[in-house]
Structures are given as structure tokens and as C-alpha cells.
Amino acid sequence: MPKVRPFKVLHLLSACLLLAGTSLLSLAQVPKNAPPEPASNAPDSNGEVHQPVISSGKNQQGDQAPESDQSVETLKVNVGVVQLFFNVKDKRGALIPNLSKTDFQIFEDGKPQTVKYFTAESNLPLTLGILIDSSGSQMRVLDMEKEVGGNFLSQILTPKDLAFVLDFDVNVNLLQDFTNNTRLLKVALNSAQINTGGGGGSIPGMGGGPVPQANGPRGTLLYDAVYLASHDELAQQVGRKAMILLTDGEDQGSQLRIKEAVEAAQKSDSIVYVLLCADRGFYGFGGYSGQGEMKKLTQETGGRVIEVGNKMEKLRDAFDQIANELRSQYNIGYVSTNTARDGTFRKVEIRANNKDYKIQARTGYYAVALKDQ
């Protein structure tokens, strides 16, 4: 079994529990042998509230991430170059290769920008996160996800790439930190187990999720998982970055909202794909309602949602599509005409001169302030 590292997620009890004269602050479940790690959500001296983080950006072997190359630097103000990875497709959704920078125009907040460099970078190092939903609704599809996900990792990863695996249910657990060892990654995937929190009531961090749930699933901390994978893992890396979520898209009890999850993914410069895996029979006739939020998450970051259901072949095909897209990316860079580093969101649009081409790219970036570097 791989070592499991729980993410530190702070949970406050809802006001209804205060009626019992109790004011509790608890961490997500941790193994009995894990040392306590102090955390606080109180504002610091700058008035900022610090979100939970994990303690290390190293892989489980203790290796540091590869040194960065300026050509693959992320969106940081000390570099000054805004970099975007994107795909181009025709009307039928087929990928279009072999285009040049003269085939595109780029705009920031509606203003044209000058392209500084342009390449078709299908072989740049890739940093990948696999997030697997292990809540009760995934009981009938989890084994399928493990098998196909493991095969995908063997297919996509090269010796220069890195990946990590985490699962989320009533907790968010880092099953394997950054490594290019596909055997370790597969072991981590296979260690994911369905966790509904048991019958332990609705105390946050004790199987009930951050918000006590009177009815329905005990907890699926989807938004918290996206935030932590983005903020604590991918934001610490440089270059091409992607995140793949295997989930039904339903969140139950996250401390954070979808807006904050999207923002964290954008700030980490990560492309997010969501493979909607679920046995619809679990939800009865009402269906499930997570598709809208997942569509927002993927569109804002340059990925997309792929409907899988509980079909093995659909899941294999979805992973094949993602592999092809990651190998067929273009890389465009420019220096913004807006030199202010105020932390605001800048909308970016890449336009193809051929109106029949469709661009799949993130919608913008944050002009990170100096104090955030």
C-alpha cells in the first residue's frame, strides 16, 4: 500500500451546532500515525486568509522537480511573458497540426498583442494530476477507472514527465506525490477505496464533510480537491500542466465553492479535463447535476468534459482523446501591453484566421502581484 498523505482542510461546524454550546475546529481525517500539523484560517498581518496547503512539493523519493527552462516558464510577473497552450480543431472536432504563428491573432481584454514566440510543443515535459472520486456514487465504476487510468499513465508519461494521484470523498488524500514511476502511480490508483464516512454522524472531518449533511451522500469534496491539487501541487511546478478528474461532477460539502476551485486551477496554469464517470442508477430518476459546474471548470482552463457513464470503451476513448490533445498542443507567448501587476484577471482570446477553426484554450490569466511571487 502506498503512503497516504491527507491534505489539510479546515472545517468549521455550521451555526446549528453552536446551539449545543459547541464551537469546534477540526482537520480532515488523518491516519493515527500521522503527526499533527498546525493550520489556521485567520488573516495574517497583511489581512490575507491562507488556504490549507500540503507540506512538500517533492515526490515520495524526495527528488526535486526538474529545473525550469525559461522557454516553458509559467505566467509569472518576473518573467513577463504570458504563455498559453492550446489545441486547434476543425468543424468535426479533428485536431489540426502544422500551423504557424501567422495563422493566429491574440488579444488581451480585447486589445491586440504581439506574439513573441510560437511553437508546436507536443514533446515538452508534462506535469499531470489524476484526481479520482472515491465517494459512494462511484462504487460501480471505481475499478474501471483504476484499470483504464493506469493504462493511460503508461501510455502518456515519458521519463521527463511527472504525475501525482489523489482521491477525494469525505476527505482529500494524496495517494502518490510527484513521480515518473508508473508502477508507483498505478499502485496509488489501485489503493483508492470507496469511503462514505460510515455511520459516524455528521461531524466535519469525521465522515460528514465540512458541512453537516442531513440527507444524501455523506460528502464528496470535489471542489476542495481541485483547489488543493492546483494550489498545493501544480502551482509549484512549471511548464505544461494538466489535471484529469474522474468523477460524476457532484460536490457534497466542500469548504470551497466552484468559483474558488476554478480560480485556483487558473492560477496554477493547469488545463482541466473531466471524465464524467457514473452509474446513473445511483441517482434514481432525478439524475445528477454536476455537469454545469464541470463544464465551467474545464472551459475556463482550456480543457473539456467528456461523458463516459459506466462504459469501459467510452472511458478508454476519452483517455485516448486527452492523450492526443496533450501531444498536439501549440504554445504561444506574448508580453502584455498592460504592465500593471495588480492581481486582476485578464481575459485572453486566441483567434484563428481561418474562421472554421475552433480554438481550445484557457480564457485568461491572473496578473499576479509581486507579493504573491
Would you kindly state where each structural domain of the chain is located, as residue ranges? 5-35+125-327, 75-122+328-372
The pLDDT profile of the chain, 373 residues, written as one tens digit per residue, is 554 566 654 333 333 322 233 222 222 333 333 333 333 333 333 334 444 433 333 333 334 333 333 333 333 333 588 999 999 999 999 999 999 999 999 999 999 999 999 999 878 899 999 999 999 989 999 999 999 999 999 999 999 999 999 999 999 999 999 999 999 999 999 999 999 886 433 333 333 333 334 344 458 999 999 999 999 999 999 999 999 999 999 999 999 999 999 999 999 999 999 999 987 665 554 455 688 999 999 999 999 999 999 999 999 999 999 999 999 999 999 999 999 989 999 999 999 999 999 999 999 999 986 555 4
**CATH class for the domain made up of 75-122+328-372:** mainly beta
Please tell me the predicted confidence (pLDDT) of residue 187: 98
Kindly state the cell numbers that stand for 373.
Answer: 511571487
Cell triple for residue 346?
A: 485578464
Grid coordinates of 144: 474501471
pTM: 0.77
The CATH number of 5-35+125-327 is 3.40.50.410
Strands of the sheet with 104-108, listed across from one edge? 111-113, 104-108, 345-352, 364-366
pLDDT of residue 9: 43
DSSP state of 252: B
Q: How far apart are CA 28 and CA 229, in angstroms?
A: 16
How far is 272 from 81, CA to CA, in rounded Å?
22
| Cell, residue 276 | 464524467
Cell numbers for 253, please give them.
460539502
